[in-house]
């Protein structure tokens, strides 16, 4: 009865060929081919653990140096940061990896590999999650392997969270997408699934998965004290709030962030950089969900993005640098123009002499959700519902933490840095303050382009004057052309492409 799952989890979505025709599985990674026909407690646990891997910045998880497929690393920073007005591909423009330039300028086609790469990573993650869920919801399997109820609930909660997380990324990049909720058992299953579900229905599934995750995950800061990187109850609540934010359900945002605060697991770190510092990982109080990169592991778990940082990739735009107020310490904690270092991604501020720059197996984590971000969601919701003093108070709390953070040089910012915003009942003015604060607080964290889209200002911000050719239809990226071709056209393309 267990063999029916065997071929499911490593298939790329809607592919009409086996995954080995498209990519090479990571060495040592648990795959369906390695799972015996009768699962064990260890293999079921590993099926959940492997589902996290598609969130990593590790190099070559799916194949070796397939730049043409966009799968050398996860493409968040390309689709969210380089596409925005925050980041350039390189410090010195050149023709290397010109497909990234096409994203930067919005002169791409549906065949651009960035879209294929992100689609591949997300659906590979979903297929692994679906395999894990199929085991953990099968009473015969759980009885046979002898899993405890507490462990089963925790692993199932993690799996539901991850599936929601991957689909949230897909729906915001592409709109309605194929909705896969169980392992694909055959080519006919793949053909049958080759159709787009509506964006609304994908969100219904995301919300359902997050609701289940919130119930199943333990009521503690960490789901596992031994592996603090695993998805937690706080991560589930935070993602519920983010889903509400993206759907402009302002009252729900306020309620859910209040629920998050009531857990008492999170607070703003005293120093802004503590969320990103390798030395502070798993000891600070602000990070809610991150991928835990680790060096010298087999299979590899390091942050491969630190390697292209030494190849001249990832630089700030002049527009981004100009957004920072005088003496705001967050600028140099994000990017140091003089040394051409991106401290936030490297996890250290002494990059000129540190081993992480150029290290393709670095330990710096990828931060997906942190408490400051969630507080700013609440501020935005307060502003939209007319509670202007509450919105301003949160904005000022974020500014206060920044101006009281010790700078990269070890001193406090000068007196008068980042003064509090004054009382106001002007919704537009407060919204402007919030937009500014999100940009400087969350720069290079793959939030900016989605913010511009949900605020419906991408067209006015990403103009030819800053080198962008953004058009109205670019609010959604194109479905990868290869997926449409594989489905024989049953997956339809987004308008404009």
The pLDDT, as a whole number, for residue 187 is 73
E strands present in 135-286? none
The string of pLDDT tens digits covering residues 144-184 is: 999 999 999 999 999 999 999 999 999 999 999 999 999 98
Identify whether the C-beta of residue 33 lies closer than 8 Å to the C-beta of residue 143: no
CATH of domain 1-197+460-484: 1.25.40
Query: Quick one: pLDDT band at residue 352, thresholds 50, 70, 90?
Result: low
Other C-beta atoms lying within 10 Å of the C-beta of residue 463: 13
The pLDDT, as a whole number, for residue 19 is 37
Query: Per-domain residue ranges for the chain?
Result: 1-197+460-484, 218-446
What is the pTM for the complete model shown?
0.93
CATH architecture of 218-446: Alpha Horseshoe (1.25)
Q: Give bridge partners of residue 291 from the DSSP assignment.
A: 366
DSSP for 181-194, please give it.
-S---SHHHHHHT-
Q: What is the largest CA-CA distance in the chain?
A: 69
**Mean pLDDT, residues 195-219:** 98
Burial class (CB in 10 A: 0-12, 13-18, 19+), 449: buried
Buried b or exposed e, range 383-392, using 16+ CB within 10 angstroms? bbeebbebbb
Query: Which segment of 241-245, 352-356, 387-391 scores lowest on mean pLDDT?
Result: 352-356
Identify whether the C-beta of residue 395 lies closer than 8 Å to the C-beta of residue 429: no
The pLDDT, as a whole number, for residue 353 is 58
Encoded tokens for 344: 């936030």
Q: DSSP label at 290?
A: E
**Mean pLDDT, residues 20-42:** 54
Query: Quick one: pLDDT band at residue 23, thresholds 50, 70, 90?
Result: very low
The pLDDT, as a whole number, for residue 355 is 80
Asked whether residue 28 carries a pLDDT value surpassing 60, the answer given is: no
The pLDDT, as a whole number, for residue 37 is 64
Q: Give bridge partners of residue 315 from the DSSP assignment.
A: 88
Please provide the average confidence, as pLDDT, over all residues in the chain: 92
The pLDDT, as a whole number, for residue 12 is 32
Query: Quick one: pLDDT band at residue 350, thresholds 50, 70, 90?
Result: confident
């Amino acid at each position: 009865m267990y063999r029916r799952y065997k071929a499911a989890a490593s298939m790329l979505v809607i592919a009409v060929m086996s995954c080995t025709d498209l990519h090479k599985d990571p060495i040592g990674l648990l795959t369906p081919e390695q799972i015996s026909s009768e699962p064990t407690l260890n293999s079921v646990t590993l099926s959940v653990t492997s589902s996290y891997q598609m969130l990593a910045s590790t190099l070559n998880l799916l194949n070796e140096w397939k730049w043409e497929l966009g799968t050398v690393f996860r493409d968040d920073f390309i689709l969210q940061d380089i596409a925005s007005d925050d980041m350039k591909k390189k410090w010195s423009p050149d023709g290397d990896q010109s497909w990234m330039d096409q994203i930067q300028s919005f002169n791409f086609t549906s065949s651009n590999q960035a879209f294929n790469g992100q689609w591949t990573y997300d659906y590979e993650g979903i297929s692994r999650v679906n395999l894990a869920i199929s085991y953990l919801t099968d009473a015969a399997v759980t009885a046979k392997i002898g899993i405890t109820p507490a462990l089963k609930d925790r692993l199932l909660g993690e799996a539901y969270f991850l599936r929601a997380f991957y689909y949230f990324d897909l729906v915001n990049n592409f709109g309605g997408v194929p909705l896969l909720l169980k392992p694909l058992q055959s080519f006919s299953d793949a053909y049958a699934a080759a159709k787009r579900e509506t964006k609304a229905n994908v969100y219904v599934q995301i919300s359902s998965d997050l609701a289940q995750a919130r119930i199943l995950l333990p009521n503690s800061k960490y789901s596992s004290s031994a592996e603090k990187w695993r998805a937690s109850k706080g991560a589930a609540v935070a993602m519920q709030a983010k889903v509400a934010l993206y759907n402009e359900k302002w009252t729900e945002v306020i309620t859910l962030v209040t629920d998050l605060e009531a857990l008492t697991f999170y607070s703003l770190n005293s120093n802004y950089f503590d969320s990103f510092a390798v030395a502070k990982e798993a000891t600070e109080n602000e990070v809610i969900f991150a991928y835990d990169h680790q060096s010298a592991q087999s299979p590899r778990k390091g942050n491969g993005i630190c390697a292209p940082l030494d190849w001249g990739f990832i630089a700030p735009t002049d527009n981004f640098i100009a957004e920072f107020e005088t003496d705001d310490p967050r600028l140099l904690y994000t990017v140091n123009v003089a040394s051409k270092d991106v401290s936030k991604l490297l996890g250290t501020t002494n990059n000129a002499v540190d081993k992480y720059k150029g290290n393709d197996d670095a330990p710096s984590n990828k931060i997906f959700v942190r408490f400051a971000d969630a507080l700013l969601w609440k501020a935005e919701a307060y502003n939209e519902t007319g509670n202007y003093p509450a919105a301003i108070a949160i904005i000022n709390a974020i500014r206060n933490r920044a101006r009281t953070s010790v700078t990269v040089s070890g001193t406090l910012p000068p007196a008068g840095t980042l003064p509090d915003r004054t009382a106001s009942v002007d919704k537009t003015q407060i919204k402007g303050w919030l937009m500014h604060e999100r940009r400087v607080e969350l720069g290079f964290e793959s939030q900016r382009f989605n913010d511009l889209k949900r605020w419906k200002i991408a067209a006015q911000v990403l103009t030819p004057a800053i080198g962008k050719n953004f058009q109205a239809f670019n609010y959604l990226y194109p479905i990868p052309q290869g997926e449409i071709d594989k489905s024989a056209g049953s997956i339809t393309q987004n308008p404009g492409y």
